[in-house]
Structure 1
Amino acid sequence: MLGSSSRLLAARSLIRRGCGSRAASMAASPSLQLVPCDAQPQYAFGPWPIGAGEVFARSETAYAFVNLKPLVPGHVLVSPLRAARRLRDLRPEEVCGVMLLAQAVADRLERHYGAAAVTLAVQDGEAAGQTVPHVHVHVLPRRAGDFEPNDAVYGALEEGERGMAGGLERHTANGGGGGSGGGSGAAAAPAERLNLDVERKPRTREEMAAEAFTLRALFYDELQKQ
C-alpha cells in the first residue's frame, strides 16, 4: 500500500496530467472555417432543396440560409449540412460547427441590422414545434419593443414553424431551391412594433437571393481582406 506521501505525489501527478490535457484541449479549440457557398449547387433541408443562391455562409459542417417567411428583418436559419433530425443525432463536430456558425451569424446580423440583441431558438422535436425533420437554429436580430410582450416572439416562432413545411413545398414547386442567385439588397429598418401579417408573407426566390447576396458580403468580403 502507498504511504500518505506517496498518495499525495500520485494525486499531484494526476492533477498535472489533467490540467495539461485541458490546456492542450483549449489550445486546440476549433474556430470557424468558411467554405464558399457555391461549393455545391443545392443543400438539403429535410426533404427540401435549398439553392446555393439562398445560402450566405457555410463551413465544413454547417450552413446558414435566408428564411422564406422571416418574422423580423434578418431572421435566418443555421443547419448542419447532414440532415440530422434531432439535436441528439448530431456528431460532436456538427454541434460545434452549427454553434460556431450561429454565433458568427448572430454577431454580424445584429450589427448589420442595427439591432440591440439576438434571439436564438431551436425547436427540437415535433412536440416542441419542429416541422422540418432537420436540426435548425432560428437567428432573429431584435430591437426593444418589436414584440409585446417580449416573450411573444416564441409563439410567433411556433406558428411560423407550423407553416414552414408547406411553404417550402410551394417554394420548391415554384422554382425555388435551385441553382445560384445574385442581386443586391439593403438592410431593412424594422418598425418599433412588427406587423406579423406583413412580415410573414412568403417571399420570391429573387427576394431571397438578393438578401443572401447582401449577407454573404458580411462573411466573405471580410475573409478576402485577411
Structure 2
Amino acid sequence: MSISSINAGGYNTSDANAQNQAARNTPNANDSAAVSNSAPGAAAPATPAAAPEPSATVTLSANAQALATLASHGITVEQGSIADLGLPPVSSLKTPEDWQKFGQALASAIPHYPTAPDGTPIGQISEQDFEKVIANFGGTTDQADALFQQLDSDASDSVSHSELLDALANTRDPSSAAGSALLTVMDQNQDGAVDEQEFVKLETALVEAEKAPKQAS
C-alpha cells in the first residue's frame, strides 16, 4: 500500500502535524535583518533568502517516537494506514506478549520483508542498495557508506532486518551515532525535528530494499 496518511496504532497525528506546521511558520530567532548601506530614506535592496542550514541536533516528534518504539519491539511500519486493520491502539500494549501479538497481526496484514517459513524476518540490505536509498534522500555515497558501517554491527557486509530495527529504535537515543545519522537523513526539510511522516518515509524505503539472502550453492 502507498497511502500518505499514517495512524500509528491509535496515535493521533493531527496534533503533531499542527505543531510541526506552527514550528515551521515561526520566525527563526537566529535570522538577522539585513543592514542597509544606502542613504537615509532609500529603499533597502532585496536580500536573497539564505538556504536553511542542517540542524546540529535532530529530535523526534511524539508520533515519530511511537514508531521508534514499535521498532524496538520488532515492528516496522511502511507508508500506509493501519487504522482499518482492527488492531488495538499502541497505548493499550502493556506486556511483551501484547507487543508480540500486535507485531504478528501487523506483519500478517502487511507483510513487507522476506521471511523464513516460520515467519522470522530474514531480509538483508546490501551496501549497494543502501547507497541507492540514501541517494534518494539527498545523501552522498560517502555518507551512505559511513552510515552502512554503523548499522552493519556484525560486519557481514549487509544490514539485516534486526540491525535495521535496532537502528530505528536507537533514534530515540541521542548518544547513538547510527540513530543520530538516520535522523539527519530523515529530516528532509532540515528543521531539526522528524515527524512521523518523515520517519516512516525512510523506514519504508529501507524495508522495501530488503531482500532474501542468497543461498550458498
The structure richer in strand per residue is: 1
User: What is the TM-score when the length of structure 2 is the normalising length?
Assistant: 0.28
Using CA pairs below 8 Å that are at least 6 residues apart, which structure has the higher relative contact order?
A: 2
User: What is the TM-score when the length of structure 1 is the normalising length?
Assistant: 0.27
